[in-house]
Every structure is written in C-alpha cells, then in structure tokens.
Amino acid sequence: MHSFQMTLPIAQQIAARTFPPFSLERLLTTTFGPKPGQRLCILIDLENPADIKDFAFLKNPALTIQKHAVESFHKPLNSEILAKMGLKGGEIFAYKLTGGSNLDLPDEAYDPSGKQVSLSKDVYPNYDIILCISTFSATAPLTAFAKQHGFRGATLHGVNEVILSSGLAVDYNDVSVEAEKLRQGVTKADWIEIEFGCEGKDHVLRLLLNGQEAQKSHGLCLGDEPDVANLPAGEVYFVPEGAEGAFPHKYEDGTLGLMTVRGGRIVTAELIKGNAATVATHNAKLASDPVTGELGELGLGTQLLPVSGRDIQDEKVRGTIHVATGRSDHLGGHLVPSMFAEKSHATHDDILFAPHKTPEILVKQVRMKRGDQNEVLIENYEPSAYLDSLVA
C-alpha cells in the first residue's frame, strides 16, 4: 500500500493554470530546434484545394482551421519569423480533404498562385520541416512520408482559439519532462483494465500490454531523424497486443452502443440507447472489414489543459483515457492501410472518454498490473493519488 497526499480535483487545477501568449517562434524553437537555412512549409486541407489561389478560401467563414493556418502561422512566418530565425521557405500548399482521420494524403496540391504541385515530388523532398494544419488528422500518413523523404513535421489538426492559447502555448520541454515521469510510472505494464459504468450497468475492458515499453507524445521533434509530432502533445500510450471484454461507445449522432471485444478487436456492437441503424451500420462494417475493429492504441492524458472541444487537445488532459481503432503503423503497430478491405476504412480513430465528451459513460476506474504492482490510475475521471505522485 502507498501513502499519498491528496491533491485538488483536476478541474480546479486546470482552472488555476495560466498560459503565456501563443508564440510561433517559441513553438518552432522548442519543438524542432531548427538550424539556419532549413526550409519550412505549411499544408492545409480544403474541399476544393484550388481555392487556395489568391487565398479565396478565406472568404468562407466556416473554414476556421485554415484561417488560423494563415493568420497564426503563414503570415507570422513570412513577415518576421523566417528572417529572425534564419530559416527559408514559408510556402503554403492545399490538398483535398481526405474525409477521415489518418487516411492517406492525396499527392495533388495547389499553391496560392494556382499552380498544381505534387506533394511527393515538389514538397516532401524539398522541405526540412512541414506543418500540417488540417481538418482531419494526418499524423499516420505524414509519419510514413517523413521516413521516406527525411523531413520532420508536426500535425496540428483542428486548431482553434482555445488550443492556440493553451495547448500550443505551453513549454514542451516541461511537457516532455512530465510525460516521461508518467511514462515511467506505467511502462512495462502487464495489462491495464478500464471499468465503465453506463445506463446502470458496468463493463470491463482489459488491454493486454505484455510488459511493453510505454511511449510518449511529448511535443519534441529534435535532431535530424525523420519524425512527426502530434500537437498539442501530452500523452503516454501503448499499442495493445490484445484486448478482451466490453466497453460502451458514444457514436457521433449520440447513440450509445456496447462494443464486445475479443482477440484484440471489436467483434460486435449492441445498441444501448439511441439509433439502431447507427449500430447496424457499424456491425456491417465490422463484418465486411474486421480489422476496422482492431484496438490499436491505449492513451492516457498527461497535461493540465482546458477543454477545447477538439479531441486532439482534450485527449491530452490528465484524467482522460482513450482507445483507438484501426491503423497503428505510425505508433509502432502492425496495422497498415493495405490490410483493410477498403482504402477509405484505413483510418485511426480515437475514442475519447472524458466528462465533457461522454457524460453518459463513467470511467469508474482504470487499473494497472505490472508484475507484483497493482495500481489504480484513474477513478471517476480523476487522476489517482499514485498518478499524481509521479509528477509531484
């Protein structure tokens, strides 16, 4: 048994935190440590990528992510930051929306002059650092291209005002130190078990980790090795080697379903509450393309951050937990796009459990077994005394 000091509830700790103003120069310096002369560019996604000509897309008020890409990244780069840091480039290119999380990127893109370019011939080989500010996550495909062409990068999908003023305003050196402390506290776990409560019933999902080293997303992409950071960062994660049990899942339309997991995969979905057609569609997909149900990630948030309404930041909040289905090659897993029956199914989809996102689903407890050590990690969305002690 351990004796730990009680800490304030996580919501109070987050509310008490203050952040410095967002600084693109600080973010670039901390994340990449770029060297003078290195070339940098920005990628965005648009339904019609040719709309980047003369920045015509900025007339559409719905394209807030792409507007942030221009106002908070492209303009500052070209007005002062490139010259100040001795960097080159600053170009921006648009590719067509992929329509799903971590689907492969198209090769065709356009620049603001209206010129069509090839990402594989004109962009990836010619830049040292690539920032992808998009609607859908591009971490998996961009990681694969980075290894092929030798660049470093960052994916910043879903950027909004809250993310700019908090998750991207932090010092990632501090985030890295904290993430490492939490990583050490869970690495080489035998298994992690999540106990859920939903509509008066309890369900348990056990993820088999078999003593593997935990990994961390910590916002640092230093050195010369090809690598892609997912920003905002701040999580410790595993690629499960198996999983058994069941867990409730909230679909995008609000329907609640119970996922039965065997052999590391969701094998069937059962309606708990809501639209039966939503669950039937999911079951048809699982039957026609079984690898879509494979659990390819288990992640624990490490940071004290405000809710942004975007999973990319909200899954990094300490006290939340997420699992993901599908593609896992960018995390060191074995599931690659060619293993899916349909190309459009080769997504990596995070399933976040957090009070604001899934109020109908309670994470009663997250438990870890590591050799003779048994620890509670999270209870009712609150970090446990053990988890808090790691970063005290």
Measured in whole angstroms, how far is the alpha carbon of residue 388 from the centre of its chain? Answer: 23
Contact 198, 360 (CB under 8 A): yes
Query: What's the burial of 353, exposed, middle or buried (CB within 10 Å: 0-12/13-18/19+)?
Result: buried
Beta pairing class for 191-198 and 201-208 = antiparallel
Number of residues that make up the chain = 392
Contact 356, 364 (CB under 8 A): no
Contact 31, 229 (CB under 8 A): yes
Assess whether pLDDT exceeds 60 at residue 119: yes
- Report how far residue 266's alpha carbon sits from residue 284's, in angstroms, rounded to the nearest whole number: 12
Question: What value does the mean pLDDT take over residues 117-127?
Answer: 98
Each domain of the chain, given as residue ranges in start order, spans: 20-165, 172-390
Question: What value does the mean pLDDT take over residues 297-312?
Answer: 96
Percent of the chain with pLDDT over 90: 89
Contact 165, 27 (CB under 8 A): no
- Taking only Cα atoms into account, the Rg of the chain, rounded to an integer number of angstroms, comes to 21
Q: Which of 370, 374, 377 is nearest to 211 (CA)?
A: 370
Confidence label for 343 from pLDDT (cuts 50, 70 and 90): confident
pLDDT, residue 336, reads: 78
Confidence label for 3 from pLDDT (cuts 50, 70 and 90): very low
Question: What value does the mean pLDDT take over residues 312-336?
Answer: 87
**What's the whole-model pTM score?**
0.93
CA atoms within 13 A on the CB side of 232: 33
pLDDT, residue 2, reads: 39
Which tens digit of pLDDT belongs to each residue from 261-281? 999 999 999 999 999 999 999
Cis peptide before 232 (omega within 30 of 0): yes
Contact 354, 10 (CB under 8 A): no
Buried b (16+ CB within 10 A) or exposed e, 27-51: bbebbbebeeebbbbbbbbbeebeb
CA atoms within 13 A on the CB side of 98: 25
Q: Which of 228, 244, 234 is nearest to 331 (CA)?
A: 228
- Report how far residue 93's alpha carbon sits from residue 105's, in angstroms, rounded to the nearest whole number: 13
Percent of the chain with pLDDT over 70: 98
- Report how far residue 309's alpha carbon sits from residue 48's, in angstroms, rounded to the nearest whole number: 26
DSSP-H helix ranges across the chain: 10-15, 24-32, 64-68, 75-76, 82-85, 139-149, 161-165, 172-186, 276-288, 311-314, 385-390
Amino acid letter, 44: I
CB atoms within 10 A of CB 12: 10
Axis crossing angle, helix 172-186 with helix 24-32, rounded to the nearest 10: 40
Which tens digit of pLDDT belongs to each residue from 71-110? 999 999 999 999 999 999 999 999 999 998 888 999 999 9
Which tens digit of pLDDT belongs to each residue from 210-243? 999 999 999 999 988 999 999 999 999 999 999 9
User: Was domain 20-165 assigned CATH 2.40.128?
Assistant: no
Which tens digit of pLDDT belongs to each residue from 154-200? 999 999 999 999 999 999 999 999 999 999 999 999 999 999 999 99
- Report how far residue 313's alpha carbon sits from residue 350's, in angstroms, rounded to the nearest whole number: 12
Question: What value does the mean pLDDT take over residues 321-333?
Answer: 83
3-state secondary structure 86-107: CCEEEEEEEEECCCCCCCCCCC
pLDDT, residue 5, reads: 44
Sign of CA dihedral 387, 170, 306, 359: negative
Three-state SS at 309 = coil
Confidence label for 1 from pLDDT (cuts 50, 70 and 90): very low
pLDDT, residue 327, reads: 74
Assess whether pLDDT exceeds 50 at residue 4: no
